[in-house]
């Protein structure tokens, strides 16, 4: 007769859990100097530890003592930086964490940008897309191309796709948008996909009828607000210099019809903006937003392949960014919740195990994997910036054409393979051993635009210069004041 | 001394201390500010830093600060090489496991790993008495 024995689940004595005192072994990690006094150690799965400068030297030289350095030792163990067992018992856990960090790859392309028209009634001086007058129908996407774009979107393995309408000024082709929404809805139902619609608009030509349609179809509005009136109007030229007035009125109308949360705004940083970080933040607060995206100054169109000018502009942007971020933190210290979105994207990667959906900070990069652009003329580009380059007669990132190329040819074709060679920072010189690799990304389009080479040269890369400094600065802030880390965590929690 | 009259710097680095890879990786980052010339010799590697053509002043630093930066960077890249060598196998295993196309929900095989009783519900025969045994049999039932 067999006897069934059940294991006891009672707590065991502490000696049951004692580990043999074997020397510790290193797990994969990278490190970087944060300040002259501190360095950050980042594990392969993104866990991190701020430690005194010289700690890595002690760690690698086997000078750490598990008794004398008990707290540090426990932190290193807990953060997957060392292991004190001969094998690595939590390798499966680490692998799951690693896979989670890359889970944005699971579903493939979500964001499908339809450039419904190039027509615009603004003449913004920094606009990278060559503008055409509002009455020129030749620059509007044809219905046949809308249909083909939707058909490709439905082939995406992603069960949740986003259809974003851009311009020019997208609302100048509102009838095209209505056609696209109706067709996409039917197709999404047939293919069992969830679909989100977004219209990017300056709101200058918005009408109650347009907003009613957006409300009926749950369309999100993304608009542009560059800052206070003088700055916005200086950046965004219009015949009557009334861009600001139309935008803020449009925001109010859209919120009234769609709801506050369905209207967002983005700013573009111009050279003039760099002089007004605090006024820009205050304008966003005044307009009732609870966050602002301090977007880096774009190298497209103004400097491109001038390393010196790009470096100077990036230095000025970083100064602007830190001043604005300081002001935002002051608001939070005073009890007002207000978030900076670029920092929040990076902080989500630093403070949580999860990836983000932001195209510019992913590895593999977000182009093709996360976004694709169908231009008004049927050309297909790898990202919005790739489309901007094309408007400057640089077609390096053109993937194909809606009339002539299949899904496989566009998404897995020779151009996509060429880009794939350089879209993972794990395999790029300068990035492969960088401590911030997990928090950063790869940007082949920007490197091609600014350096003439998709691979990029990190010592003069504005992408590297900007992201390295912002990430380092976020660590410095968290190290300087635990309350700042708490504020950062509240931003990350709110953005989920 | 400010480097407004910068003269090229020449360093001779011992191969026994710094590998070629460490030296290339370290001085890669100087390429934005200086012309970097690396010349491997039998027992050493010579590194020359000079200002790019047409540039007359060096970045805002001094001889001492530049040398201190180089020394620190060399140590950091040497450490990175040591960490890389020591952890390469685990890193490869980790990435391979992360992207392996499998789905085995293997619970940890210890007597305290199932406190709620998901894998060994009440009344179900469990043949594991000692650690690390018999779980596959239970799963197979």
Query: How does the average pLDDT of chain A come out, rounded?
Result: 91
pLDDT at A440 over 50: yes
Q: Roughly how many angstroms between the first and final C-alpha of chain B, as a whole number?
A: 79
Q: Are residues B27 and B55 in the same domain?
A: yes
Q: Are residues B54 and B109 in the same domain?
A: no
- Interface probe for A, chosen from B91, B112, B120, B141 (most Cβ of A below 10 Å), is B112
H helix runs in A61-207, sequence order: 70-78, 91-101, 143-155, 174-191
Q: Are residues B90 and B109 in the same domain?
A: no
pLDDT at B14 over 70: yes
Q: Are residues B72 and B122 in the same domain?
A: no
A129 and A388 in contact (C-beta within 8 Å)? yes
Q: At B24, which CATH number? A: 3.30.70.60
Q: Are residues B39 and B87 in the same domain?
A: yes
Q: Contact A96/B98, CB-based, under 8 Å?
A: yes
The model's confidence at residue B122, banded by pLDDT at 50, 70 and 90, is low
A256 and A426 in contact (C-beta within 8 Å)? no
Strand (E) or helix (H) holding A446 = helix A444-451
Question: How many Å apart are CA A296 and CA A196, to the nearest integer?
Answer: 26
Instruction: Give all strands (DSSP E) within A7-90, no chain letters.
Output: 25-26, 29-33, 38-43, 48-52, 82-83
Residue A495's pLDDT is what?
Answer: 67
CA nearest neighbour of A434 among B88, B96, B84: B84
Over residues A239-296, the pLDDT tens digits come to 888 899 999 999 999 999 999 999 999 998 888 999 999 999 999 999 999 999 998 8
A 430-459 → B contacts, CB under 8 A: 430, 433, 457-459
Task: Average the pLDDT over B115-136 and give the result.
Answer: 47
Strand (E) or helix (H) holding A388 = helix A384-391
pLDDT at A110 over 80: yes
Over residues A340-365, the pLDDT tens digits come to 999 999 999 999 999 888 888 999 99
Closest residue on chain B to A307 (Cα): B32
Residue A225 CB-density burial (10 A; 0-12 exposed, 13-18 middle, 19+ buried): buried
pLDDT at B108 over 60: no
Closest CB to A95: pick one of B33, B82, B94. Answer: B94
User: How many other C-beta atoms are found inside a 10 Å radius of the C-beta of residue A439?
Assistant: 24
Structural domain boundaries, residue B24: 3-99
Strand (E) or helix (H) holding B89 = helix B63-99
Closest residue on chain B to A435 (Cα): B80
Domain boundary at B66, B84, B99, which?
B99
Over residues A382-402, the pLDDT tens digits come to 999 999 889 888 999 999 999
Over residues A1-13, the pLDDT tens digits come to 566 666 677 777 7
Cα torsion B114, B119, B124, B129 to 10°: value is -50
Question: How many Å apart are CA A202 and CA A117, to the nearest integer?
Answer: 14
- List the CATH code of the domain at A109-416: 3.20.20.70
Residue B64's pLDDT is what?
Answer: 84
Residue A392's pLDDT is what?
Answer: 84
pLDDT at A140 over 50: yes
A86–B contact, CB cutoff 8 A = no
The model's confidence at residue B115, banded by pLDDT at 50, 70 and 90, is low
Residue A20's pLDDT is what?
Answer: 59
Say if strands A263-266 and A219-224 run parallel, antiparallel, or are unpaired.
parallel
Q: Are residues B80 and B123 in the same domain?
A: no
- Chain B residues interacting with chain A (CB cutoff of 8 angstroms): 25, 28-33, 75-77, 79-80, 82-84, 86-87, 90-91, 93-95, 97-99, 106, 111-112, 115, 120, 125-126, 128-129
A31–B contact, CB cutoff 8 A = yes
CA nearest neighbour of A150 among A97, A121, A188: A188
Residue B52's pLDDT is what?
Answer: 86
The model's confidence at residue A303, banded by pLDDT at 50, 70 and 90, is very low
User: How many other C-beta atoms are found inside a 10 Å radius of the C-beta of residue A26?
Assistant: 20
Closest CB to A5: pick one of B25, B94, B129. Answer: B129
A424–B contact, CB cutoff 8 A = no
Residue A302's pLDDT is what?
Answer: 45
Instruction: Give all strands (DSSP E) within chain B, no chain letters.
Output: 9-14, 35-40, 44-50
Q: Are residues B48 and B91 in the same domain?
A: yes
Strand (E) or helix (H) holding A264 = strand A263-266
Q: Enumerate long-range contacts of A174-183, CB under 8 Å, 24 or more apart.
A: A174/A210, A176/A116, A176/A117, A176/A140, A176/A141, A176/A143, A176/A146, A177/A116, A178/A213, A179/A143, A179/A146, A180/A114, A180/A116, A180/A146, A180/A150, A181/A217, A181/A219, A183/A146, A183/A147, A183/A150
Closest CB to B94: pick one of A30, A44, A433. Answer: A44
Closest residue on chain B to A32 (Cα): B76
CA nearest neighbour of A47 among A91, A26, A77: A77
Q: Are residues B86 and B31 in the same domain?
A: yes
So what's the ipTM on this one? Answer: 0.86
A66 to each of A13, A422, B114, how far by Cα in Å? 21, 42, 30
pLDDT at B133 over 50: no
Q: Contact B25/A433, CB-based, under 8 Å?
A: yes
Closest-CA distance, B68 to chain A, in angstroms, reads 12
A54–B contact, CB cutoff 8 A = no
| Three-class SS state of A26 | strand
Q: Where along chain A do its domains lie?
A: 19-99, 109-416
Higher pLDDT, A134 or A326: A326
Q: Are residues B73 and B47 in the same domain?
A: yes
The sign of the torsion formed by the CA atoms of A478, A358, A127, A206 equals negative
Q: Which range has the top average pLDDT, A14-18, B38-42, B54-58, B129-133?
A: B38-42
Residues in chain B with CB shorter than 8 Å from the CB of A44 are: 91, 94
Worst-scoring range by mean pLDDT, A188-197, A435-444, B116-125? B116-125
The model's confidence at residue B1, banded by pLDDT at 50, 70 and 90, is very low
Q: Contact B87/A458, CB-based, under 8 Å?
A: no
A23 to each of A43, A338, A339, how far by Cα in Å? 19, 47, 44
Q: Are residues B135 and B84 in the same domain?
A: no
Q: Are residues B122 and B70 in the same domain?
A: no
Q: Are residues B81 and B116 in the same domain?
A: no
Looking at the 3D structure of chain B, how many domains does it have?
2
Residue A214's pLDDT is what?
Answer: 98
pLDDT at B129 over 50: no
A92–B contact, CB cutoff 8 A = yes
Residues in chain B with CB shorter than 8 Å from the CB of A3 are: none
A146 and A375 in contact (C-beta within 8 Å)? no
């Amino acid at each position: 007769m067999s006897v069934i024995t059940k294991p006891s689940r009672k707590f065991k004595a502490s000696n049951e859990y004692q580990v043999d005192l074997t020397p510790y072994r290193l797990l994969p990690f990278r490190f970087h100097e944060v300040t002259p006094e501190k360095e950050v150690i980042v594990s392969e799965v993104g866990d991190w530890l701020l430690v005194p400068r010289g700690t890595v030297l002690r760690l690698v030289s086997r000078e750490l003592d598990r008794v004398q350095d008990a707290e540090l030792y426990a932190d290193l163990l807990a953060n997957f930086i060392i292991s004190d067992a001969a094998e690595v018992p939590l390798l499966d856990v680490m692998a799951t964490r690693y896979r989670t960090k890359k889970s944005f790859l699971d579903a493939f392309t979500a964001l499908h940008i339809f450039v419904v028209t190039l027509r615009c009634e603004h003449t913004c001086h920094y606009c990278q897309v060559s503008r055409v007058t509002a009455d020129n129908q030749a620059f509007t996407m044809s219905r046949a191309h809308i249909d083909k774009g939707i058909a490709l979107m439905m082939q995406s393995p992603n069960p949740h796709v986003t259809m974003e309408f851009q311009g020019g000024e997208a609302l100048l082709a509102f009838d095209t948008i209505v056609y696209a929404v109706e067709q996409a809805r039917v197709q999404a139902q047939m293919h069992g996909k969830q679909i989100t619609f977004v219209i990017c608009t300056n709101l200058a030509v918005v009408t109650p009828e347009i907003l009613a349609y957006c409300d009926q179809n749950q369309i999100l509005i993304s608009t542009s607000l560059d800052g206070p009136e003088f700055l916005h109007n200086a950046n965004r030229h219009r015949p009557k210099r009334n861009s600001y007035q139309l935008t803020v009125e449009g925001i109010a109308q859209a919120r009234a019809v769609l709801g506050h949360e369905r209207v967002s705004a983005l700013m573009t940083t111009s050279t003039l903006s760099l002089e007004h970080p605090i006024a820009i933040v205050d304008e966003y607060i005044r307009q009732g937003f609870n966050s602002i995206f301090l977007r880096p100054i774009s190298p497209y169109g103004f400097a491109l392949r001038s390393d010196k000018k790009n470096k100077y502009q990036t230095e000025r942007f970083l100064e602007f960014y830190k001043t604005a971020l300081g002001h935002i933190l002051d608001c939070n210290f005073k009890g007002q919740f207000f978030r900076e979105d670029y920092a929040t994207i990076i902080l989500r990667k630093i403070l949580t195990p999860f990836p983000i959906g932001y195209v510019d900070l992913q590895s593999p990069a977000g182009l093709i994997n996360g976004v694709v652009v169908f231009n008004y003329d049927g050309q297909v580009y790898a990202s919005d910036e790739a489309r901007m380059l094309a408007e400057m007669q640089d077609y390096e990132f053109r993937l194909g054409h809606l009339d002539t190329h299949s899904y496989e040819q566009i998404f897995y074709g020779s151009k996509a393979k060429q880009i794939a060679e350089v879209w993972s920072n794990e395999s790029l010189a300068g990035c492969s051993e960088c401590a911030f690799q997990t928090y950063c990304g790869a940007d082949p389009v920007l490197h091609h635009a600014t350096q003439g080479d998709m691979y990029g040269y990190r010592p003069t890369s504005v992408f590297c210069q900007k992201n390295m400094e912002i990430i380092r600065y976020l660590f410095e802030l968290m190290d300087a004041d635990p309350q700042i880390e708490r504020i950062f965590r509240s931003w990350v929690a709110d953005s989920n | 001394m400010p480097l407004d009259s910068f003269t090229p710097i020449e360093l001779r680095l011992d191969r026994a201390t710094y590998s070629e890879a460490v030296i290339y990786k370290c001085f890669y980052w100087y390429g934005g500010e200086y012309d970097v010339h690396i010349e491997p010799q039998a027992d050493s590697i010579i590194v020359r830093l000079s200002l790019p053509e047409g540039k007359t002043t060096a970045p805002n630093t001094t001889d001492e600060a530049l040398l201190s930066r180089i020394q620190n960077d060399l140590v950091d890249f040497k450490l990175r090489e040591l960490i890389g060598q020591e952890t390469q196998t685990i890193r490869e295993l980790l990435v391979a496991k992360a992207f392996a196309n499998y789905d085995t929900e293997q619970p940890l095989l210890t007597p305290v790993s199932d406190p709620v009783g998901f894998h060994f519900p009440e009344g179900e025969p469990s043949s594991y008495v000692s650690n690390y045994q018999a779980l596959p049999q239970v799963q197979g039932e």
